[in-house]
Amino acid sequence: MDSGWRTYSRTALFETGSILKNNPIPAANIYSKLLSVEQTNTAIIYNDTYFFKIFRKLEVGINPDLEVVRFLSEKTNFKNAPLYGGSIQIKTLNQEMTVLGMLQNKVNNQGDAWNTMLSLLDTYYEKIITSSPAHSPIFISKDRMYFMDAPAFVRNLIGRETYSRVIQLAQRTAEMHIALASDPNDADFIPVLFTSHDQQQLCESQSHLVHDKLNALAHKLHTLPTEIAAEAQLLLNMKSNILARLENITHANIHATQIRVHGDYHLGQVLDSGDDFYIIDFEGEPLRPIEERRLKTSPFKDVAGMVRSFHYAAYGALYLYPERYTTIDTNQLEEWASCWYHYIHRFYLTAYFDRVEKQSFIPQNKQELDLLLKTFILEKAIYEVGYEMNARPTWLRIPLRGALVAIGI
């Protein structure tokens, strides 16, 4: 297959990426395997080398997954995302494009980072169960938190391997954002300054989210189990406080740029090759309109998503897999789940900020930085509350607790 576009009918086009140009497969030697994994897309593996993603939800416009994968692969040196192989698109009667599917290289992996963290958490909890630590958890907070800053017994429980993998993940996150902000000439990717209008729009969007999700939670309150309903009511009581916190963004003068981001970043969107991490699925949150998912924003949106994912992992290992622990173990381990999350997300943030410290998308003023980070973490937790109460009610207590932690309760 040669470079550029091939037209297979009046409206169907195939674009070839560099990896397919450089490594073509003779038609006679092609074999394929349909993946059975439950996803919003259909996936086919060709020759155990290429991964073809068929988008089942067709939308008019530029698909951000294709756009970002192609940009990272063709225009940057970022190596920890799939390489772009090509795409099939159709042109509508009014000349608008719709992406049908995208070809990329197959990333060899041992599973996703979610399962990696659950495995590391199993080791952490087993150490606690078998050793019965003499100390209760100790929570130390610092602006920058390194492994040696944690108490010795906490370091022993968490382990050097977990710390190293979290640092590696933070560095890959930072490198992704640096790459996404690296082209000063591509209008779709060039960083843009935060404006007061942007801050006002961000506040309005987040406030609308709070009203929508918490009103829905209030209507479902009577259907929730007693212990979950109590935390839900506590969150509902804090609605005005939450809205006031989100409004703080409109009173700040943010000195930073906005960039293209992953948009739906969590441990499940990262593949673990065994010795490295690879970031996948750049579509953004699938329930949002395609143009909204292409908007530039603060990379703290992604950082907040990963911070929340660590919280999910810490408590999910206890609540979502009851066969692993007895009720007594679960009750005793809850404070240790909080301990793991406390240190792990601080290790992650420290490694991330160490890597991106001088980038234009990072405010140099600590108050501005903290405001952005806390705002996006709170927004993500509220979004998760709305998602879980409809899709996975048994998971609801995790984002409820996360939202309460985000507002200091």
How many Cβ atoms are within 10 Å of 366's Cβ, its own excluded? 9
One-letter identity of residue 29: N
Mean pLDDT, range 166-187, rounded to an integer: 98
Residue pair 201/295 in contact (Cβ under 8 Å)? The answer is: no
For residue 154, what are the contacts with CB-CB under 8 A and spacing of at least 6? Answer: 137, 138, 339, 343
Classify strands 41-46 and 192-193 as parallel, antiparallel or unpaired: unpaired
Closest by CA position to 109, among listed 45, 200, 56 = 45
Burial code of 197-217, b = ≥16 C-beta within 10 A, e = fewer?
ebbeebbeebeebbeebbeeb
Mean pLDDT, range 104-132, rounded to an integer: 94
Give CA angle at 173 (171, 175), nearest 5°: 70
The CA–CA distances, whole Å, from 234 to 3, 226, 333, 380 equal 59, 12, 23, 18
Place of tokens 């240790």: 336
Percent residues over pLDDT 70 in the chain: 96
One-letter identity of residue 297: T
The confidence band for 294, taking pLDDT boundaries of 50, 70 and 90, is very high
Q: Where in the chain is the domain with CATH 3.90.1200.10?
A: 113-406
**Comparing 122-136, 195-209, 283-297, 323-337, which segment has the lowest mean pLDDT?**
323-337
CATH of the structural domain 113-406, one choice from 3.90.1200.10, 3.30.460.80, 3.60.21.70, 3.40.50.970: 3.90.1200.10
**Comparing 53-62, 65-74, 159-168, 183-192, which segment has the lowest mean pLDDT?**
53-62
**Comparing 20-34, 163-177, 299-313, 317-331, which segment has the lowest mean pLDDT?**
317-331
| Cα separation, 356 vs 352, whole angstroms | 6
State yes or no: pLDDT of 11 exceeds 80: no
The confidence band for 329, taking pLDDT boundaries of 50, 70 and 90, is confident
* pLDDT at residue number 348: 99
State yes or no: pLDDT of 3 exceeds 70: no
The confidence band for 161, taking pLDDT boundaries of 50, 70 and 90, is very high
* pLDDT at residue number 108: 94
State yes or no: pLDDT of 28 exceeds 80: no
The confidence band for 175, taking pLDDT boundaries of 50, 70 and 90, is very high
The confidence band for 94, taking pLDDT boundaries of 50, 70 and 90, is confident
53-62 tens-digit pLDDT: 998 888 888 8
One-letter identity of residue 76: T
Specify the pTM.
Answer: 0.93
Q: What is the CATH number of domain 5-105?
A: 3.30.200
Q: Where in the chain is the domain with CATH 3.30.200?
A: 5-105
Classify strands 12-16 and 277-279 as parallel, antiparallel or unpaired: unpaired
State yes or no: pLDDT of 10 exceeds 70: no
Mean pLDDT estimate for the chain: 92
195-247 tens-digit pLDDT: 999 999 999 999 999 999 999 999 999 999 998 999 999 999 999 999 999 99
Residue pair 212/316 in contact (Cβ under 8 Å)? The answer is: no
The confidence band for 25, taking pLDDT boundaries of 50, 70 and 90, is confident
Between 374 and 133, name the one with better pLDDT.
374
| Cα separation, 256 vs 191, whole angstroms | 9
